[in-house]
Structure 1
Amino acid sequence: MSVESAAPQPEPDPGPHWPIPPAGGWTADDLDTLPNLPPHTELIDGSLVFVSPQTRFHLRAVNFFERQLESLVPDGLEVLREFTIDIDRQNRPEPDVIVVPEEDYEDPHQTRLPADSVRLAIEVVSPESVARDRGTKPLKYSGVGIPHFWRVEHKDGRAVVYVFELEPATRKYVATGIFHDRLKVSVPFPIDLDLTDIMPKRRRTE
């Protein structure tokens, strides 16, 4: 009597299994408890937004603004990079760089800050984040009262910075300048930056 071999078992799926969102979407608190989220996951309108791999320009620009602002920021303010902020229950974005008041007591386990504490938010645009950085995020930042917003883009081998200031009566951003080689502003504090240092000439074709 022949013995039939057992049917082969399917191989387990090695790919990631993302959690199914609850009715109404995820909340800001969920970002601290959901397991196995990729680093720098954001929450926009109750949906999880995963960050694509960084480009060289994005990395250099974020490093540049963090380093330069740290050297210029006045007492009482500090510069943070890639730190999430609470806008509301369904929105917890992560600006690339923010300027916020220094806290007398720092909680080493703190994972986010209230959005209304932010003095300046900077977003460096990546190919996959164009719509969010040009449209979605500025609307949310202005709506919660962040007074200054900068959008940094890569054009023709160099950095271009679009500077916006909040108009308090309308709670909307007004463009106050477009800067190519040099950025010089007096608010939120005196800042004078050589933007060509982000992408030196020998690297602009990379």
Structure 2
Amino acid sequence: MTALPDWMRPPRAEGWFAEDLDRLPEAPRHTELIDGALVFMMSPQRWWHGHLVTMLTVALMDQVPADARVGREMTIKLDPRNRPEPDLLVTTAAYNDDRTWFSPDEVRLVVEVVSPESAHRDRNVKLRKYAEAGIPHYWCIEDEDGAPVVHVYELDEPTGAYAPAGIFRGTLERPVPFEVSLDLDKLTPPRSS
């Protein structure tokens, strides 16, 4: 076993903090902070995942209201020890070239596309953490035989937890977080035989 590079060693006994991510240029792309621990995307990304995220980004960009933007590869600073990077998000924050993260109050929707290595985090850990941070809408997208299935959650403010708002196949039409209508079948290429 090889020794860990110095940059992988936490700077303090309590582990990592959200602001530490901006000081880790050696860290792989898509490094997240969950409960003070660095989480790296270790497995290669599937083409299905990347294509779906790109197509969904384009589709949402056409539908977001004028005061919102779609973002990719940006983290959300949920609290001092959690800074996850969703596959995409919809934010009301003003554009800033130097920005590296958003605060939860600037995020209207978070979307995670489930990968085998991220399944537990996307379905359980992030579901709870995004709700606790007060992000009003969460979509968790699963691969069902090559077709995207969107599990939609809305924040129940009295409990501070997400409530399931529907499971969508084929099409997704919702009035919140903005008027959105998606042909889910067009987000992935047809499977070759």
Structure-1-length-normalised TM-score: 0.87
For residues 144 and 131 of structure 1, the distance between their equivalents in structure 2, rounded to whole angstroms, comes to 19
For residues 30 and 78 of structure 1, the distance between their equivalents in structure 2, rounded to whole angstroms, comes to 26
Q: What is the aligned length?
A: 189
Name the residue aligned to 2:80. Answer: 89
For residues 9 and 155 of structure 2, the distance between their equivalents in structure 1, rounded to whole angstroms, comes to 37
For residues 137 and 36 of structure 1, the distance between their equivalents in structure 2, rounded to whole angstroms, comes to 25
Give the one of 7, 18, 26 matched to 1:36. 26
Give 3-state SS (helix, strand or coil) of 2:81's partner. Answer: coil
Name the residue aligned to 1:138. Answer: 127
Give the one of 165, 180, 183 matched to 1:194. 183
Structure 1 53/16 Cα, relative in aligned 2: closer, same or farther at 3 Å? farther
Give the one of 17, 22, 25 matched to 1:27. 17
Instruction: Kindly indicate whether residue 56 of structure 2 is the aligned counterpart of residue 47 of structure 1.
Output: no
- Say which is worse superposed, 57-66 or 42-51, in terms of deviation: 57-66
Structure-2-length-normalised TM-score: 0.93
The percent identity for this pair of structures is 47
Q: Unmatched 5+ residue regions in structure 2?
A: none
Superposed CA deviations along residues 43-78 of structure 1, whole A, max 9, x for unmatched, are 000000001321111101111211001000111111
How far off is 1:115 after superposition? 1.6
How far off is 1:201 after superposition? 2.6
How far off is 1:102 after superposition? 4.1
Equivalence map 1:68-107=2 (5 Å)? 68-103=59-94, 106-107=95-96
For residues 199 and 116 of structure 1, the distance between their equivalents in structure 2, rounded to whole angstroms, comes to 31
For residues 188 and 98 of structure 2, the distance between their equivalents in structure 1, rounded to whole angstroms, comes to 35
Flag the structure with larger Rg.
1
For residues 60 and 148 of structure 2, the distance between their equivalents in structure 1, rounded to whole angstroms, comes to 16
How far off is 1:184 after superposition? 0.9
Backbone CA RMSD of aligned residues? 1.6
How far off is 1:20 after superposition? 1.6
